[in-house]
Amino acid sequence: MEGQAILLLCILVPLLGAFLLPLLGRISVGLRNITALILVLLPFVLSVAATPAAMGDSPIQLHFDLPLGLSFGFYADGLAVFMELVASLVAAIIVFYSFGYMEEYDNQNEYYMMVVLFIGAMMGLIYSTNLIFIYTFWELTAICCWRLIAFYRTPEVMPRASKAFLITGGGALVMLIGFVAIYIQTGTFDLLALQGRGLDNWIMILILFGILSKSATLPFHCWLPDAGVAPSPVTALLHAAVLVKIGVYVYARLFVVNFQLEPVWTTNLPAVCAVSALISAGAALRTNDLKRIIAYSTISQLAYILLGLSSGSMIGVAGGLLYILMHSLAKGGLFLCAGIIEHSTHTKDIRNLSGLYKRLPITTISFALCAFSVMGLPPFGGFFSKYMVISGAVETGNLWIAACFVIGAIMTVIYLLRLFIKLFFGELSHPDIREGTWEMVSSVAILGLLSLLFGIAIKVPADFVTTIVEALGRW
Amino acid sequence: MLQPIASLLTMGSGMNLLYLLIVVPLLLSLLCLILPRTQETLKGLLFLLSIFFNLVLSLGLFVAQDTTVLIPWAGFGMNLAIRVYAFSRFAILAAGCAFFLVGLYSLCFIKGKSYQGGFICFYLLLMSFANGVFLANNLVMLLFFWEAIMLVVFGMLLLIKRPKPRTAVKAIILNAIADFLLLLGIAITYSLSGSLMMDVISGLPVEGAGVVGFLCMMLGAVGKAGAVPFHSWIPDAADDAPLPFMAILPGVLEKLLGIYLLFRVCVDFYALQPGSVMSQLVMWIGALTLFFGIAMALIQNDIKRMLAFSAVGQVGYMVLGIGTALPVGIVGAVFHMLNHAMYKSSLFLAAGAVEKATGTTDLRKIGGLGRRMPITGCSFLLAGFAFVGFPGFNAFFSKDLIFDAALQTNVIFYIIALLGVFGTAASFLKVMHAAFFGPLRLPQGIQREEVREVPLCMLLPMFILAAGCLLFGLFNRLPLGVIQPLLGERLAGVEYAGWPHSMLLVLISIVCLLLAVGNHILAYRYTGSALKSVDHFRYIPGVRQLYDAAEKHYLDPYNLFLSLVKIYALVCSCFDRMINWIYDVLLVKMVSFLATNFHDFSDGSTNRYLVWTFSGLGFLAVLFLLLI
C-alpha cells in the first residue's frame, strides 16, 4: 500500500499542486517559487524511493476496473522510474533556473502553474498503463506546451505555438485512431493485458504518427525549431529535456516493452531516423538563430534515441535509454546557456554575437561541457550512448544506417563547433553585458558537470539501464 | 632496482596499481586546473613530480610480467580492462621517456608565458589518456581515451590566443572524422567477433562486413597518426600551438598511438594478407602521405613548418611498412615509429630553442646561428643525420627494413620511398644550412648579444634524444630485441638486427643521399642561398602550378570536405524549408480554401438549404432502394 501511495503522490502532487501556485503567487513570490520547485522535486525523491521495488521482481502497481473494458492503472517498472528520474531531475534544475530568468516578466503565476502541470501530466503519462490515459496526459502536455510557447503573447509567437499544438495534436489524433483499432481488435486498452501481443503494421503506422510528431522526427519536425520563440527555460524543458522525450518514451513503452513488432521495423524506422538525423544536421549548419540551431540539433539527436530503441538489439535499446538521460542533461544545458546569452545580449542571431567568453566565462565552460556531451566525445556521457546506439544498429545488420549516423555524428561536431566558436571567440560584441544571475549560472554549471560526471561514473546509469533491458527478457 | 616497482604494479587482479598510470596524471591535472594563477611554481613542481613518477612507473612496467586486470564499467562487454604485454610495455616506456624529456624542456620553455598553467594541465591530461590507450585491453576503453585526446588537442591549440581559432577547429573536425570512423569500425568488429576484449579478437577475415570494419578501424588509426587526408591541421598547428606541443603530439604521441593501433588492426584483429587489395590500399595511403608530406616539406622556409610537414611524410613510411603485411615491413614500421619519435622530437625541441633565442623560426629572418648556439646546432645536426637516414643512425636501419618490404610487394612503392629519401635529405640540408651555417642573420630589433644558447634544462632533453638516435643505430639490437617479439610466430625466427642483409638496397639509399648532397652543393653555388637550394624543383612547369595550388590550400582535403559539407547543408536546408512550406503555406491555404468554399454552401439562403435537404433525401432513397 505504501508503494501505491508513493506512485499516486508522484502524479497527483504536481498535477493538483500546480493549481495552488497562482494563489500562492498572490501571497508571496518567493513562496510560490519554492513551492514550484518542491512540487517538481518531490516526484524525483519519491521515485528514488520507488526505485528498488521497480528494479526488483514486483513493481508497484495500481489498478481499477471500469465498465466497457476500460480500466485505470499505474505501473512503475524500471523503464518508467528511469524516465521519471530523468524528467524530474532536469525539470527541477530548469525550474530553479527560471527563478533568475523569469524574474522580470509578467504572468509568472501562469508560467509556474503551466510548468508544474506539465510535469504532472508527464508523470501521469509515464506511469499510465492504459492507452486512453496515455492519450489524455499526452494532450494535456500539448496544451501546457501551447500556453508556454506563446508565453510572450506577441503576434509572431501565437501562430508558432498553434503550429506546435496542431502538429503534435494532429499526430496524437491519428495515434488515437490506432489505439481505438487496438481496442476493437482486443477489447481492452490495458497495456498489461496486451503484453506480448503482435501488432498489425497499419496500426503501428497510425501510432507512429503520434510518436514521430511529438518527438519531432522528419517529416513532423518543423514545429520544434519554430517553437524557439518561447522563453529559454521553456524551450529547454519542452524541446530538450522532457516533452520531446514523450514520443520516444511511448515508443519504448509500447513497442519495446509491450507489443511484438514485425522484424521489418528494425530496418524501416531506423531508416526514417537516419534521414531525420542527416537532414536536420544539415539544416542546423545553415541557420543563424542560436536557438534554432540547438533545436535542429535536438531533432537530429532524437533520431539517435529512436534508432537505438527501434534497433531491436539489446545494446541498442540500452543505448537509446542512456541517450535519453545524456541528451536531456546536455541539451537542457545548451538551451539554458542560450537563455543566458539571449537574456544578457537580447539577440539570438549568432552573426551579431562573438567573443562572449570574456564576459560569460562560466556559461562558456558549461556550454562547452554540454556541447561535447552532445557531440559524443569522451569523457562525457554522450560518448557511451552514441557508441551503444550505433553498435546496436550494426548488431541488427543495418551497416548503412549505422554509417549514416556516423556521418550525422560528424555533422554534429561541425555545427556545434561552429556555434561554439562564433559565440565565444573573437572580438567581444557586447562589452557591457554581465553573467546571468546565480540561479541561472549554477543551473547550467550543474548540467554541464552532470554531463561530465555521468560519463566518468558511467557505471551508475549503465547498470540501471542494463537491469531494465535485461528485465524485458526479449533477448 | 625496478623489480619491486614491477611486482607492486602487477599485484592483485581487480583494483590494481596499474590504474595509477592513468589516474595520477589525471588528478594532478585537475589539481593544476583548480590552483590559482599565482601558484605557478607549485604547478611546475607538481608537473615535474608527475612526469618523473610516470617515468618511474613506466620503467617499472617495462620489467613487469604479463598481466591482465579488469574492472566492470558500462556493461555490454565494456570494461576497464588492462593488459600488460610486450607492446604496451614498449609503448608506455617510449611515451614515458618522451613525456619526461619533453616535459622537462617545456618547463623551461613555457616559463613566464601566459599559457603556462593551461599547458601543464593539458600535458598531464594527455599523459593520462595516452597511458589509457596503451594499457587498454578493451576496444571501447581504447576509444574512450583515444577520442578524449582530441579534446586535449583542441585545448592546446586554443592556448595561444588567436582572433579566430581556425586551426583548433580544423584539428578537431579532422580528428572527429577519423575517430567516429574508428567508432564504427569498433562496433562492426564487435558484431563480427562478439567481444570487445582486444586479446580475444584475432584474425577476423577481411571480407564482407569485415572489409568495412577493417577500413574504418584502419582509417581511424592512420587518421590519428596524421596520414593523408587527415594531416592538414598539423602544419597549421606548427604556427598556432606552443612548440613543446608539436614535439610531443605530432612528433611522438600521434605516431605511437596511430601506428600502435594500425599494428593491432592489421596484425592482431584482422588477418591482412600480403598483396591483398586492402594491403595495397594501406600501402597507397602510406605512399601518398609520404610523397605529399615530403614534397611540401621541401618548399618550406620555416623550421617548424618543415618539421611538421616532414612529420606527416614520415608517417607515410610507417603506414607503408605495416601495409605490406610482411614481417619485415611491420618490424621496420614499428622501429621507424620509435626512431621518428626520437629524432623528430629532438628536432622540434631544437627549433624551439631557436625560437626561444630569436623569437622566430622563419628562415627568411634568421640564419647562421651555429656560432651563437653551438650545442643546439650540434644536436640538430645529430638528429638530422637520423632524420635523413644516414648510415649508422637508427632511422637508416628502420627505413631499410621498410624498403625491403616495399620492394617485395611492388617496385613502385620502393621508388616513391626512395624519392622520399632524396626529399628528406634535401629539405634537411636546406634548413640546416640556412639556420646554422653562413653569416649571422637576425630579425630586426634583436641584437647579436641577446642571442644566447638556451639553458641546460632545454639542451639536455634535445641532446639526449639526438644521442639516442645514434645509440639505437649502432646498437639496433637493443630496440629490435623488444620490437621483434611483438610479431610472435609470424616472425619465423628471422633476425633483423645488425647490418642490413641486402648491400644493394644500402647502396641505392646512399646514392640517393649523395644525390641530395650534390644537388644542394650545386644549387647553393648557383643561387648563393641555401634557402633556394631546391627552388629548381619548385619551378618546374607543371610542378609549379601544383605547388602554387597547395600553398593556397586548394589541395587541402579539409577545405574540399568543408565545401562538400556546405553544399550538403544547403540541400538539407532547402529540403527543410520545403517541408516547412507545406505546413506553413500549403496546409493553411488548403484549409482556408475549403473553409471559403464550404462557407458559400451555408450562407443562410432558404432555397439552397432546400436543395441540400432534397438531394440528401434522394441519396437516402437511392441507398434504400439499392439495399432492398
Summary mean pLDDT of chain A? 90
Contact indicator for A409, A357 with CB cutoff of 8 Å = no
B80: phi then psi, degrees, rounded to nearest 5: -90, 85
Contact indicator for B32, B110 with CB cutoff of 8 Å = no
CA atoms within 13 A on the CB side of A123: 29
Distance CA B404, CA B425 (A): 20
Which residues on chain A are in Cβ contact (under 8 Å) with B591?
none
Q: What is the pLDDT of residues A391-409, one digit of tens each?
A: 999 998 889 999 999 999 9
Residue of B nearest to A454 (CA): B74
Which stretches in chain B have pLDDT values below 70?
A: 1, 12-15
Question: CA separation (Å) from B28 to B54, B123, B130, B144, B553?
Answer: 12, 11, 15, 20, 40
Please give the average per-residue pLDDT across A177-192, as a whole number: 89
Residue A204: is its pLDDT beyond 70? yes
* Contacting A residues, span 46-65, partner chain B, CB-CB under 8 Å: none
Asked if the Cβ–Cβ distance from B187 to A391 is below 8 Å, we say yes
Q: Are residues A55 and A112 in the same domain?
A: yes
Question: CA separation (Å) from B513 to B7, B415, B427, B499?
Answer: 48, 14, 12, 18
Of B209, B571, B583, the CB nearest to A163: B583
Distance CA B211, CA A29 (A): 64
List beta partners, residue B204.
B270
Report which of A258, A427, A423, A453 is spatially closest to residue A344, judged by C-alpha positions: A423
List beta partners, residue B79.
B72
Q: Domain boundary residue among A261, A282, A305?
A: A261
B125: CB partners within 8 A, 6+ apart: B25, B26, B29, B148, B152, B155
For residue B586, the Cα-to-chain-centroid distance in whole angstroms is 51
Q: What is the pLDDT of residues A214-266, one digit of tens each?
A: 998 988 998 999 988 889 999 998 888 888 999 999 999 999 888 888 888 88
Domain ranges of chain B: 321-551, 560-627
Distance CA B187, CA B189 (A): 6
Write the DSSP symbol of residue A351: G
Check residue A440 and give its pLDDT.
Answer: 92
Question: CA separation (Å) from B186 to B52, B78, B279?
Answer: 34, 12, 19
Residue B477: CB atoms within 10 A of its CB come to 14
Distance CA A434, CA A443 (A): 16
Tell me if the pTM is above 0.80: yes
* Contacting B residues, span 285-344, partner chain A, CB-CB under 8 Å: none
| 3-state SS assignment for residue A63 | strand
Asked if the Cβ–Cβ distance from B187 to A287 is below 8 Å, we say no
Check residue B316 and give its pLDDT.
Answer: 94
pLDDT band at residue A1 under the 50/70/90 scheme: very low
Distance CA B110, CA B537 (A): 38
Report which of A443, A456, A319, A452 is spatially closest to residue A389, judged by C-alpha positions: A319
Which residues on chain A are in Cβ contact (under 8 Å) with B78?
384, 462
Q: What is the pLDDT of residues A94-117, one digit of tens each?
A: 999 999 898 888 888 899 999 999
Query: Which string of DSSP letters, residue by residue, matches A217-261?
Result: -TTS-THHHHGGGS-HHHHIIIIIISHHHHHHHHHIIIIIIIPBP
B569 — contact with chain A (CB < 8 Å)?
Answer: yes
Asked if the Cβ–Cβ distance from B568 to A282 is below 8 Å, we say yes
Strand-pair category, B67-75 with A60-65: unpaired
pLDDT band at residue A300 under the 50/70/90 scheme: very high
Asked if the Cβ–Cβ distance from A384 to B570 is below 8 Å, we say no
Asked if the Cβ–Cβ distance from A413 to B181 is below 8 Å, we say no
Locate A312 and state its grid cell: 531491436
Contact indicator for B336, B94 with CB cutoff of 8 Å = no
- How many domains are there within chain A? 2
Asked if the Cβ–Cβ distance from B165 to A279 is below 8 Å, we say no
Q: Are residues A159 and A239 in the same domain?
A: yes
Distance CA B330, CA B398 (A): 10
Which residues on chain A are in Cβ contact (under 8 Å) with B173?
410, 413-414, 417
Write the DSSP symbol of residue B370: T
Asked if the Cβ–Cβ distance from B184 to A403 is below 8 Å, we say yes
Check residue B398 and give its pLDDT.
Answer: 93
Of A394, A458, A466, the CB nearest to B188: A394
Locate B304 and state its grid cell: 617548424
Distance CA B164, CA B170 (A): 11
Check residue B13 and give its pLDDT.
Answer: 55
Asked if the Cβ–Cβ distance from B73 to A390 is below 8 Å, we say no
Asked if the Cβ–Cβ distance from B164 to A425 is below 8 Å, we say yes
Residue A186: is its pLDDT beyond 50? yes
Report which of A371, A410, A370, A414 is spatially closest to residue A390, judged by C-alpha positions: A410
| 3-state SS assignment for residue A289 | strand
Q: Which of A414, A456, A465 to mutate to test the interface with B (most CBs of B within 10 A)?
A: A414
Q: Which of A292, A410, A451, A463 to mutate to test the interface with B (most CBs of B within 10 A)?
A: A410
Buried b or exposed e, range A198-226, using 16+ CB within 10 angstroms: ebeeebbebbbbbbbbbbbbbbbbbbbbb
Check residue A136 and give its pLDDT.
Answer: 92
Helix and strand totals (H; E) in chain A: 20, 2
Locate B483 and state its grid cell: 620490437
Distance CA B313, CA B250 (A): 12
Locate A343 and state its grid cell: 537574456
Check residue B183 and give its pLDDT.
Answer: 95
Of B140, B165, B572, the CB nearest to A282: B572
For residue B542, the Cα-to-chain-centroid distance in whole angstroms is 31
Contact indicator for B185, A387 with CB cutoff of 8 Å = no
Q: Are residues A140 and A270 in the same domain?
A: no
Which residues on chain B are in Cβ contact (under 8 Å) with A162?
none
Distance CA B460, CA B105 (A): 8
Residue type, A156: E
On the question of a cis peptide bond just before residue B439, with omega within 30 degrees of 0, the verdict is no
Q: Which ranges in B63-165 belong to alpha helices (H)?
A: 86-109, 116-135, 139-159
Question: CA separation (Å) from B225 to A185, B339, B442, B493, B537?
Answer: 60, 15, 35, 30, 28
Residue of B nearest to A417 (CA): B169
DSSP element (H, E) containing B562: helix B557-581
Size of chain A, expressed as the number of residues it contains: 475
Contact indicator for A148, A111 with CB cutoff of 8 Å = yes
Which residues on chain A are in Cβ contact (under 8 Å) with B188?
394, 399, 402
Q: Are residues A276 and A407 in the same domain?
A: yes
Distance CA B147, CA B590 (A): 51
Asked if the Cβ–Cβ distance from B576 to A409 is below 8 Å, we say no
Please give the average per-residue pLDDT across A165-184, as a whole number: 93
Locate A261 and state its grid cell: 513488432
| 3-state SS assignment for residue A73 | strand
Owning domain of residue A471: 263-475
Residue type, B503: M
Q: Which of A406, A453, A454, A456 to mutate to test the interface with B (most CBs of B within 10 A)?
A: A406
Q: Are residues A182 and A298 in the same domain?
A: no
Q: Are residues A202 and A64 in the same domain?
A: yes
A61: phi then psi, degrees, rounded to nearest 5: -145, 155
Query: How many contacts does A have with B, using Cβ atoms within 8 A?
Result: 137
Instruction: State the residue for C-alpha cell 650545386.
Output: B522
Locate B553 and state its grid cell: 590550400
Report which of B338, B335, B342 is spatially closest to residue B401, judged by C-alpha positions: B335
* Contacting A residues, span 370-389, partner chain B, CB-CB under 8 Å: 372, 375, 377-379, 383-384, 386-388
Distance CA B227, CA B221 (A): 9
DSSP element (H, E) containing B343: helix B327-358
Q: Are residues A250 and A338 in the same domain?
A: no
Q: What's the burial of A170, exposed, middle or buried (CB within 10 Å: 0-12/13-18/19+)?
A: middle
Asked if the Cβ–Cβ distance from B187 to A402 is below 8 Å, we say yes
Contact indicator for A87, A473 with CB cutoff of 8 Å = no
List beta partners, residue A64.
A72
Asked if the Cβ–Cβ distance from B181 to A406 is below 8 Å, we say yes
Which residues on chain A are in Cβ contact (under 8 Å) with B184?
390, 394, 402-403, 406
> What ipTM, to 2 d.p.?
0.94
Distance CA A93, CA A230 (A): 18
The angle subtended at Cα B96 by Cα B95 and Cα B99, nearest 5°, is: 85
Check residue B185 and give its pLDDT.
Answer: 95
| 3-state SS assignment for residue B80 | strand
Q: Are residues A238 and A309 in the same domain?
A: no
Distance CA A193, CA A191 (A): 5
Contact indicator for B403, B509 with CB cutoff of 8 Å = yes
Residue of B nearest to A462 (CA): B74
B177 — contact with chain A (CB < 8 Å)?
Answer: yes
Of A286, A406, A421, the CB nearest to B183: A406
The angle subtended at Cα B162 by Cα B565 and Cα B98, nearest 5°, is: 90
Distance CA A404, CA A417 (A): 20
Write the DSSP symbol of residue A360: -
Helix and strand totals (H; E) in chain B: 25, 2
Locate B612 and state its grid cell: 441540400
B157 — contact with chain A (CB < 8 Å)?
Answer: no
Please give the average per-residue pLDDT across A200-215, as a whole number: 92
Contact indicator for B311, B346 with CB cutoff of 8 Å = no
| 3-state SS assignment for residue B299 | coil
Residue A5: is its pLDDT beyond 50? yes
Q: Are residues A247 and A288 in the same domain?
A: no
Quote helix, strand, coil % in chain A, to nearest 5: 75, 5, 20
